Amino acid sequence: MAKRIEVKGLDIYYDKFLAVQGVSMTIEPRSVTALIGPSGCGKSTFLRTLNRMHELVPKARVAGSVEMDGHDLYAPHVDPVAVRRHIGMVFQRPNPFPTMSIYDNVVAGVRLNNKKMKRSEMDALVERSLRAANLWDEVKDRLKRPGSGLSGGQQQRLCIARAVAVQPDVLLMDEPCSALDPISTQAIEDLMLELKKDYTIVIVTHNMQQAARVSDVTGFFNLRSIGEPGGLVEMDDTTKIFSTPSNQATEDYVSGRFG
């Protein structure tokens, strides 16, 4: 669990459109890395290349390399489905399977992976995953009810339980709190601080206070200029990015002067 990701010279295309250019970064295990930057600079696009979800868009592709603990995730023999099993993703809008029970939602990924499990093992996995997502106490008496009956914040924690149930090495989160109220947001932020003990976490957020609260390292993305591709401007300890960044554009963005 919790692996290091090393990105080198990554260019990301949608067909002929170069959306993101020349990203190199190291994402450390057992830490939270936040990606910030103005709309359209390619944060979500970049995040999706880390578990090969980007290529689900027709004609989308990358050049450069992404390695997890030294293994090239884009090597010809690598199965993208296996990559997504090791590198889980939580989306902006909570997306539990609406007709499935809470229990079945948690084990949906495990079942997809064709893992044969005894009922007692499955029960234990559901409890462990829901506890990891800080949701167990709220749902333990209604595991057979539909996931869609939960509040937005609970649904998002259910999605996190579903993501951790397959025991990934890395968790990617694309604005996981943007559809949530402040109390649910705090619950998810607390959860990230818990989960980073076991996982490598990368979060895209528009909320700079959130980046400052939860992350150890922050990467600032920006467009070089209108019509140019996005890229990583600088990446450093979160405290440094928010107090004394090296780049003027970073300073302007974190102090709210643009974006």
Ligand X SMILES: Nc1ncnc2c1ncn2[C@@H]1O[C@H](COP(=O)(O)OP(=O)(O)OP(=O)(O)O)[C@@H](O)[C@H]1O
Q: Which residues bind ligand X (CB under 6 A)?
A: 14, 17, 19, 37, 39-45, 57, 230
Q: How far is the CB of 68 from ligand X (least distance, A)?
A: 21
Give the whole-angstrom CA distance, residue 77 versus residue 57: 20
Residue number with CB closer to ligand X (220 or 242): 220
Q: How far is the CB of 45 from ligand X (least distance, A)?
A: 3
Q: How far is the CB of 186 from ligand X (least distance, A)?
A: 22
Which tokens is 67 given?
A: 């390695």
Residue number with CB closer to ligand X (147 or 230): 230
Residue number with CB closer to ligand X (205 or 238): 205
Q: How far is the CB of 211 from ligand X (least distance, A)?
A: 13
Residue number with CB closer to ligand X (19 or 202): 19
Residue number with CB closer to ligand X (37 or 231): 37
Strand order of the sheet with strand 87-90?
71-72, 60-68, 5-14, 17-27, 230-237, 217-223, 32-36, 200-204, 170-174, 87-90
Q: How far is the CB of 209 from ligand X (least distance, A)?
A: 16
Cβ distance 246 to 234 under 8 Å? Answer: yes
| Positions of E strands within the chain | 5-14, 17-27, 32-36, 60-68, 71-72, 87-90, 170-174, 200-204, 217-223, 230-237
Alpha helices in 141-204 (DSSP H): 152-165, 182-195
Give the whole-angstrom CA distance, residue 176 versus residue 155: 11
Residue number with CB closer to ligand X (14 or 97): 14
Give the whole-angstrom CA distance, residue 240 versus residue 42: 22
Q: How far is the CB of 77 from ligand X (least distance, A)?
A: 27
